[in-house]
């Protein structure tokens, strides 16, 4: 089980190491947008939208990595003081009852919209924008799949803890 969890982790490890560069690109691009607008009087809708695309990619593709490194939002009222096996039970419950089913549901219900958008190569959000809304919508199933993969890896680790082996 440990080897399978480690193999699943590699998917989000690689994805996280790749999309982290989106943050730097986003900052540099936003700086260029501001510089071009206020210093040179030039504005571009496509340039503005590219910041939106990078932001969407960073958060949608980086969500699995965030779960991998345990930096997701958690309400620690009882969790912080709980014993390791209690934490493992809470986490396992969360993956089995909340995370995996919600991601599977989102994947199921968004799939027709994504397929439709890709099949017609849905265009720009705004006139003069990037003609690739289909690309943004394609992030939804990828987001779901990456979170399911990471949830399964984390669930396997919780099962190892609950069985009494070291993780």
| Residue 104 resides in a domain | yes
| Residue 46 resides in a domain | yes
Q: Print the domain residue range for 17.
A: 2-162
| Residue 167 resides in a domain | no
Residue-wise pLDDT for 80-134, tens only, equals 889 999 999 999 999 999 999 999 999 999 999 999 999 999 999 889 999 999 9
| Residue 111 resides in a domain | yes
Grouping H, G, I as helix, E, B as strand and the rest as coil, residue 26 is helix
Q: In sequence order, what E strands does 74-158 have? A: none
| Residue 93 resides in a domain | yes
Residue-wise pLDDT for 24-40, tens only, equals 999 999 999 999 999 99
State residue 165's pLDDT score: 59
Q: What is the DSSP letter of 94?
A: I
| Residue 13 resides in a domain | yes
Q: What percent of the chain is modeled with pLDDT above 70?
A: 98
Distance CA 66, CA 21 (A): 15
Local confidence band at 167 (pLDDT 50, 70, 90 cut-offs): very low
Number of domains in the chain: 1
Q: What is the DSSP letter of 167?
A: -
């Amino acid at each position: 089980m440990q080897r399978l969890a480690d193999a699943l982790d590699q998917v989000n490890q690689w994805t996280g190491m790749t999309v982290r560069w989106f943050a730097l690109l986003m900052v540099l691009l936003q700086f260029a947008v501001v510089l071009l607008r206020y210093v040179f009087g030039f504005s571009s809708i496509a340039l503005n939208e590219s910041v939106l695309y990078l932001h969407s990619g960073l958060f949608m593709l980086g969500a699995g990595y965030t779960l991998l490194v345990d930096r997701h939002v958690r309400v620690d009222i009882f969790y912080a003081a709980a014993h390791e096996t209690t934490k493992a039970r809470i986490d396992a419950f969360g993956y089995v009852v909340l995370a995996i089913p919600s991601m599977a549901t989102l994947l199921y219900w968004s799939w027709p919209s994504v397929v439709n958008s890709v099949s017609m190569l849905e265009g720009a959000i705004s006139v003069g924008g990037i003609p690739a809304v289909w690309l943004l919508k394609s992030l939804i199933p990828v987001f779901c799949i990456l979170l399911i993969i990471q949830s399964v890896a984390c669930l396997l680790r919780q099962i190892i803890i609950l069985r009494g082996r070291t993780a």
